[in-house]
Structure formats: structure tokens, C-alpha cells
Amino acid sequence: MNKVINSLSIGVLVSILCTGCSPQPAQNTKSEGVPFIMHCTEHLPEFSLGVNSHPSIEQQSALCSCIYNGLSEWTREVAEKLHQKKDAELTYFEQRAFPSGFGEAYQKCGGMNL
């Protein structure tokens, strides 16, 4: 039960921070009140941008690449597991620490400005 709650917590925290990242053309472009969902070719979990975000494919690619390159080695390993839906394999520490490292890279890469 605790693992399920921890797994859900990671998903919610990542969603709240940013909310994945291969550029997929505008599945929800210009939809009012709907966050823009990122799907990266890099092995990052899905994440969202703000409700008024409408990045170009080039901006999406640049953001995904920047975030991935900005992650520490262990944070990349956690991102890989989340991308593969293997969050049950994560330790409690990894689950709690990942959103902070991911969020820091997201902010440094300009994710808040798209």
C-alpha cells in the first residue's frame, strides 16, 4: 500500500512541477484551461507546461534536451525508470528527491517561460 501511495506521489509531484517530452505536434494546442503535455524522445517522464503554453516543436526538443542534459546521473536513472513506468523499483528517497532535481533543470532550461 505504501509503495502505491509513493508511486502516485511521484507522478503527482512531477505533474505539478512541470507535468514527459518527445515533441508531439500540438495534441492540445490553444486549448484554454488544458496544460500542454510534453513527451520527450529523451527518457523523461511526461510533464506539463502551463495552460497558456504553446511551444514550437523546436522549443519542445530544446527543452527536453536541456532538461535531460541538466540532470545528475542518478536523477537520469530515476527519470528512465519513470519513463518506463517502473516507479515501483524506486526507493523512497528517489521518489522524494526526483521532483526537486527535475524541477531545477526545468527552471534552468526556461520551462517556466514557454
Tell me which residue range forms the domain holding 73. Answer: 2-113
The 10 Å Cβ neighbour count of residue 54 is 14
88-112 residue pLDDT tens: 999 999 999 999 999 999 999 999 9
Strands (DSSP E) contained in the chain are 37-38, 47-48
pLDDT band for 52, please (50, 70, 90 cuts): confident
Q: Looking at the 3D structure of the chain, how many domains does it have?
A: 1
* Contacts within 8 Å (CB) and 24+ apart, 28-35: 29/54, 30/54
Output DSSP code: residue 46. Answer: -
Exposed/middle/buried for residue 15 (C-beta within 10 Å: 0-12, 13-18, 19+): middle
